[in-house]
């Protein structure tokens, strides 16, 4: 890379630069972008190619180094050995530390239950993939060996089926890929995060994957959906089947599947038992969320939840109230917790060193091409061995013509170095054949032995001819691959663990509101304290407890299902419901709303509106004499948003806000004593929450509208003289003594 001109640290360049000290001690300047490319790009490429993404054999380098070490240790057929021993041996190939190696082994182990077909047969505590807190034991306590299915990973690895490269210190070699006899990349899940890209491959049933591969080999237009139904997760559960999304995953390698937990209900103990959960969650995450919902009053039908997982497997027990419908409760839990969760597919795989996102179709095609090359290399290797053996036996056949002559040549040769040349001359054979003859033991220099060995020649010639025909005919290569796939199905196939649930109409229906519905009395004080009191408790109570100087701003007879809108002085509204607040007594202070709902710093409560159906209008009265009418439905949200900005106009301070079903008479009073009563029908409704409204009273400079209230029907006769039919107006100064009028 070309360096920039020599400079000093005091130079002021318009471009961002990086200064470094050259070997001569001078300060040299280079552009920051060059430094980033030089230092960061090699790291990024290394993470993508050599660490995070799986290759077509289904493994990352860390997996491959561990499993190959175990294979070389004889752990495919031998007894288990301490995990610490395996970890130590693996460091000859993987120098990144024993802890990282052991964590890799844990995930590959049968005891961890993270894989559909584990590669490591384990003994001891290897933790559980479905538990966040269940830690695995140290490697000095656990033991492991290779699972029998690994025989398919290493089959014929010593027959030049894959390339080998030197390890990091050139002391030994390791394979670049495993010659796996089945599409392992799709059989076990694999997740990795690289730089600027990631991979998340879900697992599929072994039998289904092999049958799909066979189908595509026989017919490139084969529809794999006829044999592959969808992913098969090691933790079981149910996939909520979506045919279009599944086809998208098969074709593109991207998409998501919804996985639902499996549960059963014990009516005697009123207990729901969850035994299978999605692969994207843990027991602790589910428990924490259910406890949180119960504390917030959103799940009132649950008495207790506990983790009953043991050696027999996962189990979450939920004790529910006697009259609770378990199926309805579980539907609610599926929507509110990770008992139903989405698995996002991103089949990003390294092909010839380059990352590529592929669908299942393309992955199977790439694996077939890879496996075809492995089989061709194996056949070529075996062909070479048989040709070499045939060559030796043909030389041995010539010795059969005169064994005594061969013995005489060896016996009469004075120098050992001349034995091979003399045999070559005496029988007309080449050096390799002569070396072979010269190494035959004396006890084998008999006619029976030589005839027995030569009898193999005919079979060797047949085998060589067959192998050459295989290499010349790709169809025969595919027949071998298909035969191996069928053998894998026969030996290792297992029933699906993840079943399918098909959405019905009830899944699409709006969630039924099962919040307990009962009468309550609602109280809100000026300082922002909220109380919800049942009528029975209110009848038995004394006076309302309030802070000194505080008073009840709002009270009403309502229901526990009422929706509450708390308007603040910052033109925001916080949405909640009466059910969120606990039942209390008049003698209690109540909940402080700004803290309960998490108001912004410096934000204060202005007023509250309650509704059960979001029908009607909100009428906003401002200090500048304007009023706005907004449909209450504008504050209804389909999502769980609890804070809405721009809840009303902030051009003038808000005096009051009312909720009216149709239209109502509203009284306005200024600080100068002028007063009017008008019907809200005079205000045109606006669908914008932040509308400034229309002028209702004309105010002189310095005059403010400081009070407003809804006039009850029985009071209309009293205010009849002050009702106006048009707005805006200046207003009246009442002839009656204001002290005798019930100003609100």
Report the Cα 268 to chain-centroid distance in Å.
36
Query: Of 276, 328, 275, which is closest to residue 507 (Cα–Cα)?
Result: 328
Task: Using CB atoms within 10 Å of the CB of residue 496, give its burial: 0 to 12 exposed, 13 to 18 middle, 19+ buried.
Answer: middle
Structure tokens at 653: 């301070």
Cα–Cα distance for residue pair 310/288, rounded to 1 Å: 19
**Residues 545 and 611: beta-carbon distance below 8 Å:** no
* Alpha carbon separation from 282 to 186, 342, 420, 436 (Å, rounded): 23, 14, 72, 65
Cα–Cα distance for residue pair 106/66, rounded to 1 Å: 11
Query: Of 557, 558, 552, 602, which is closest to residue 577 (Cα–Cα)?
Result: 558
436 included as an active-site residue = no
Cis preceding-peptide flag for 121 (omega within 30 of 0):
no
* H helix runs in 178-325, sequence order: 184-187, 206-218, 243-252, 283-295
Q: How many residues appear in the chain?
A: 744
Cα–Cα distance for residue pair 238/232, rounded to 1 Å: 9
Query: Mapping DSSP to helix (H, G, I), strand (E, B) and coil, where does residue 601 land?
Result: coil
Report CA dihedral (438, 439, 440, 442) to the nearest 10 degrees: 80
Choosing from 20, 40, 141, 304, the catalytic residue is 141
Cα–Cα distance for residue pair 66/93, rounded to 1 Å: 8
Question: Taking the alpha carbons of 101, 102, 104, 109 in that order, is the dihedral positive or negative?
Answer: positive
Other C-beta atoms closer than 10 Å to the C-beta of 15 total: 9
Cα–Cα distance for residue pair 195/41, rounded to 1 Å: 10
Cα–Cα distance for residue pair 489/486, rounded to 1 Å: 5
* Alpha carbon separation from 186 to 208, 251, 615, 739 (Å, rounded): 10, 14, 53, 85
Enumerate the active-site residues: 141
């Amino acid at each position: 890379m070309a360096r920039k001109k020599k400079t000093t640290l005091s130079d002021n360049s318009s471009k961002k630069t990086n200064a470094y000290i050259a070997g001569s001690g001078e300060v040299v300047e280079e552009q920051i972008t060059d430094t980033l490319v030089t230092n960061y790009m090699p790291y990024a490429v290394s993470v993508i190619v050599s660490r995070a993404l799986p290759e077509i054999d289904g493994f990352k380098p860390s997996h491959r180094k561990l499993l190959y070490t175990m294979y070389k240790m004889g752990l495919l057929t031998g007894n288990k050995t301490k995990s610490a021993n395996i970890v130590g041996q693996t460091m000859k190939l993987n120098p990144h530390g024993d802890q990282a190696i052991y964590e890799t082994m844990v995930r590959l182990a049968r005891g961890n239950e993270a894989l559909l077909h584990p590669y490591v047969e384990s003994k001891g505590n290897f933790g559980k993939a479905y538990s966040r807190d269940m830690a695995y034991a140290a490697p000095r306590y656990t033991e492991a060996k290779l699972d029998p299915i690994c025989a398919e990973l290493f089959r014929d690895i010593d027959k030049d089926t894959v390339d080998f490269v030197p390890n990091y210190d050139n002391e030994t070699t390791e394979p670049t890929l495993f010659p796996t006899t089945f599409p392992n990349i799709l059989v076990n899940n694999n997740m990795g995060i690289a730089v600027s890209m990631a991979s998340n491959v879900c697992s599929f049933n072994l039998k289904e994957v092999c049958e799909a591969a066979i189908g595509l080999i026989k017919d490139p237009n084969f529809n794999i959906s006829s044999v592959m139904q969808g992913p098969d997760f090691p933790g079981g559960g149910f996939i909520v089947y979506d045919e279009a999304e599944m086809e998208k995953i098969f074709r593109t390698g991207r998409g998501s599947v919804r996985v639902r937990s499996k549960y059963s209900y014990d009516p005697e103990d009123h207990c729901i038992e969850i035994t299978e959960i999605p692969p994207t969650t843990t027991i602790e995450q589910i428990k924490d969320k259910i406890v949180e919902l119960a504390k917030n009053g959103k799940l009132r039908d649950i008495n207790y939840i506990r983790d009953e997982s043991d050696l027999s497997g996962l189990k979450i027990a939920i004790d529910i109230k006697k009259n609770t419908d378990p199926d309805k409760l579980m539907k609610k839990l599926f929507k509110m917790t990770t008992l139903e969760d989405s698995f996002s597919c991103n089949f990003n795989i390294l092909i010839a060193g380059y990352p590529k996102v592929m669908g299942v179709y393309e992955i199977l095609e790439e694996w077939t091409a890879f496996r075809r090359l492995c089989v061709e290399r194996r056949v070529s290797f075996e062909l070479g061995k048989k040709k070499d053996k045939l060559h030796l036996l043909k030389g041995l056949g010539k010795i059969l013509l005169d064994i005594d002559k061969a013995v005489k040549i060896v016996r009469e040769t004075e120098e050992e170095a001349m034995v091979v040349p003399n045999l070559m001359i005496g029988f007309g054979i080449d050096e390799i054949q002569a070396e072979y003859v010269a190494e035959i033991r004396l006890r084998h220099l008999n006619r029976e032995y030589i005839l027995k060995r030569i009898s193999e020649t005919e079979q060797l010639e047949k085998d060589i001819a067959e192998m050459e025909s295989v290499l010349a005919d790709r169809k025969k290569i595919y027949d071998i691959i298909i035969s191996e796939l069928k053998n894998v199905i026969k030996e290792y196939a297992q029933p699906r663990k993840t079943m399918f649930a098909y959405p019905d109409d009830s899944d699409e229906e709006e969630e039924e509101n099962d919040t307990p519905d009962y009468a309550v009395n609602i109280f809100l004080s000026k300082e922002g304290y909220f109380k919800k009191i049942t009528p029975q408790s209110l009848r038995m109570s004394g006076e309302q407890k309030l802070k000194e100087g505080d008073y009840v701003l709002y009270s009403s007879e309502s229901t526990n299902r009422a929706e509450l809108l708390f308007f603040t002085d910052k033109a925001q509204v916080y949405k909640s419901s009466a059910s969120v607040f606990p039942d209390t007594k008049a003698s209690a202070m109540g909940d402080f709303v700004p803290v309960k709902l998490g108001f912004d710093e410096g934000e204060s409560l202005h007023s509250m509106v309650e509704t059960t159906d979001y029908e009607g209008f909100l009428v906003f009265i401002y200090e500048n004499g304007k009023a706005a009418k907004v449909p209450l439905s504008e504050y209804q949200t389909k999502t769980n948003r609890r804070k809405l900005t721009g809840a009303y106009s902030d051009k003038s301070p808000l005096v009051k806000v009312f909720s009216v079903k149709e239209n109502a008479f509203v009284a306005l009073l200024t600080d100068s004593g002028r007063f009017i009563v008008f019907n809200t029908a005079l205000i045109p409704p606006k669908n914008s929450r932040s509308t400034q409204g229309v002028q209702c009273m004309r105010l002189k400079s310095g005059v403010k509208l400081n009070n407003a209230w809804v006039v009850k029907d029985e009071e209309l006769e009293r205010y009849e003289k002050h009702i106006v039919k048009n707005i805006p107006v200046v207003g009246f100064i009442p002839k009656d003594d204001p002290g005798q009028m019930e100003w609100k």
